[in-house]
Amino acid sequence: MELKRVDYAVQIEDLTVAYDLKPVLWDIDLNIPQGKLMAVIGPNGAGKTTLIKAMLGLLVPVSGTVRFFHEADNSLRKLKNKVAYVPQSGSVDWDFPATVLDIVLMGCYGKLGFIKRPGKKDKDNAMENLKKVGMEDYALRQISQLSGGQQQRVFLARALMQTADIYFMDEPFKGVDVQTEKAIIALLKELKESGKTVVVVHHDLQTVSEYFDWVTLINIKVIASGPVEEVFHEQNLKKAYHSTGNLLKSAV
Ligand SMILES: Nc1ncnc2c1ncn2[C@@H]1O[C@H](COP(=O)(O)OP(=O)(O)OP(=O)(O)O)[C@@H](O)[C@H]1O
């Protein structure tokens, strides 16, 4: 029987990351197949944000390799149009003068190069993406004058400008209301349906089965990774969260 070749968006091998010599990710081996909508879950301080940053090359690991789309050259220069990143809201200092529209238009700099200015088509596209996240009425508002949840939606619109192949989102539902959360997950599912890979740091265990088709549980090490219906169960959750209680209530 011929084995089907799996196309991976990300392949991580032997990844160890430390801050001040203290390892916070230890010997991570992880493959993320293309076209999955994947949650990264684990307790506070488990290394979820660090994992995303290490994948993106924003941190220098102690050891290990990260490969995107089976490419040998993983320099950010090569990948900048393929990878989009929505950082945690609150992790960016917005104390500089820029409108919501300016921020969203930054999403197409990779495509434009640094010299070309965005034109009418880019602006129309930016407005379209602001509409998708319900923020079109705020286009000319200063970014510093938005709530955390609204800023998060603007980040998302900016990521959508990038038409990347893989999207990394660090807690996109943090500080957003239920309606916005539903709108964002509908968008992420749309991205997945169009063949994109979406990796989301997520905290709400009760919504994992509803939102995602793939999940990685981490706590310094990878506890489990795979289809939600196979690996998202009480036993793995207890290992990841060092818990003895029922973490899932009636979620699964
Ligand atoms: N810049 C840093 N310098 C030193 N230690 C850090 C730094 N950033 C994170 N850490 C530590 O590394 C560990 C992993 O942090 P990380 O932010 O990746 O966890 P997380 O799983 O995303 O947590 P949370 O769910 O609380 O956001 C934590 O113990 C944290 O205190």
Range of the domain at 202: 1-82+165-175+198-230
The answer to whether 215 and 39 are in contact (CB under 8 A) is: yes
Total of domains in the chain: 1
Q: What is the ipTM of this complex?
A: 0.97
Residue 114 lies in a domain: no
Residue 74 lies in a domain: yes
Ligand 1 mean position to 4 CA, how many Å? 37
Q: Output the domain CATH number for residue 47.
A: 3.40.50.300
Question: Does the pLDDT of residue 197 top 60, yes or no?
Answer: yes
Question: Ligand 1, closest atom to CA 218?
Answer: 21
Helix (H, G, I), strand (E, B) or coil at 11: strand
Among 15, 25, 28, 50, the mutation site with the greatest number of ligand 1 atoms within 8 A of its Cβ is 50
Protein residue whose Cα sits closest to atom 16 of ligand 1: 47
Per-residue model confidence as pLDDT tens digits over 129-172: 999 888 999 999 998 898 888 888 898 898 888 888 999 999 98
Mean of pLDDT over the chain: 87
What's the whole-model pTM score? 0.89
Identify the band that residue 112 occupies on the pLDDT scale cut at 50, 70 and 90. very low
Please give the pLDDT value at position 3: 58
β-strands 197-201, 166-170 pairing: parallel
Residue 60 lies in a domain: yes
Per-residue model confidence as pLDDT tens digits over 62-82: 999 999 988 876 666 677 778
Residue 11 lies in a domain: yes
Of 40-54, 158-172, 238-252, least confident by mean pLDDT is 238-252
The answer to whether 102 and 155 are in contact (CB under 8 A) is: no
* Most confident by average pLDDT, 59-73, 117-131, 173-187, 226-240: 226-240
Residue 149 lies in a domain: no
Question: Does the pLDDT of residue 252 top 50, yes or no?
Answer: no
Residue 116 lies in a domain: no
Percent of the chain at pLDDT exceeding 90: 56
Residue 215 lies in a domain: yes
Among 22, 24, 62, 204, the mutation site with the greatest number of ligand 1 atoms within 8 A of its Cβ is 24
Protein residues whose CB sits closer than 6 Å to any atom of ligand 1:
19-20, 24, 42, 44-50
Ligand 1 mean position to 24 CA, how many Å? 8
In this predicted model, which residue has the larger pLDDT, 171 or 2?
171
Residue 19 lies in a domain: yes
Helix (H, G, I), strand (E, B) or coil at 245: coil
Please give the pLDDT value at position 22: 92
Q: CA 125 → CA 57, 80, 158, 162, 182, distances in Å?
A: 29, 19, 10, 11, 22
Protein residue whose Cα sits closest to atom 13 of ligand 1: 45
Ligand 1 mean position to 38 CA, how many Å? 20
Protein residue whose Cα sits closest to atom 10 of ligand 1: 19
Ligand 1 mean position to 45 CA, how many Å? 5
Identify the band that residue 230 occupies on the pLDDT scale cut at 50, 70 and 90. very high
Ligand 1 mean position to 19 CA, how many Å? 9
